[in-house]
Amino acid sequence: MRRRPIPLSVRKRLPLLKGLVLDVDGVLTNGHLHYGPGEEELKSFHVRDGHGIVQILRAGFLVGVISGRAGEGTRRRLADLGIAHIHLGVRDKGAVFSNLLNTWGVHPSQVAVVGDDITDLVMMTESLSITVSDGDRALATKVQWVTNAPGGAGAVREVTDALLFVRKREHPHNQEDGLC
């Protein structure tokens, strides 16, 4: 399978980024929902995506999650990764996104947003907009970067690797433990 390269316009914006905002279902997971007995909802997260998130947090990037669905398992996984800005069960992603950027003190152009459906567009207007390869087709025509990997299968790792590569290239003398 031939991999799509990161578009030049995206590569030019990567050095300007300070933060990453992620959706959960369809981005950090494959989008499948499995219901167990009672209220239990089960989801699978890819360990490589998690490792990429830990790496960019260590490198000083801001990371936040804004998701329409809530769940204790999701909250636990995100907390285990060290993500402090977790917003689950969100109905108005645009308002929460604006508040998050205010908290961080950054402009939308300094943030990449990874989503998989049209409900994520409200966060992508001025941000570096990214969708996963199996994201909604309507979204894929509106974003700046479509990952090679699908949601829940390494798409987030593609993004974090690109962010870290640029950071290392821009600041090669600030590397610690192989990170910037």
pLDDT digits (tens, 9 = 90+) for 5-40: 888 899 999 999 999 999 999 999 987 777 777 777
| Mean pLDDT, rounded, for 48-63 | 96
- DSSP per-residue string spanning the chain: -PPPPPPHHHHHHGGG--EEEE-STTTTS-S--EE-STT-EE----HHHHHHHHHHHHTT-EEEEE-S---HHHHHHHHHHT--EEE-S-S-HHHHHHHHHHHHT--GGGEEEEESSGGGGGGTSSSEEEE-TTS-HHHHTTSSEE-SSPTTTTHHHHHHHHHHHHHHHH-GGG-BTTB-
> Is the pLDDT at 180 greater than 60, yes or no?
no
| C-alpha span between 13 and 78 (Å, rounded) | 26
Per-residue pLDDT averaged across 160-166, rounded?
A: 94
Give the CATH architecture of domain 15-114+123-170: 3-Layer(aba) Sandwich (3.40)
Give the number of residues written for the chain.
180
- Provide the pLDDT for residue 178: 41
Q: Using one digit for the tens of pLDDT, what is the confidence trace for 90-132?
A: 999 999 999 999 999 999 999 999 999 999 999 999 999 999 9
Say whether pTM exceeds 0.85.
yes
Here the tokens at position 88 are: 């689950």
Q: Please, which pLDDT band fits residue 157 given cuts at 50, 70 and 90?
A: very high
Identify the pLDDT of residue 177.
Answer: 43
pLDDT at 176 over 70: no
Percent of the chain past pLDDT 70, that is, above it, reads 93
* Residue appearing with tokens 């969708």: 131
Phi-psi region of 175 (alpha: psi -120 to 50; beta: other; left: phi over 0): beta
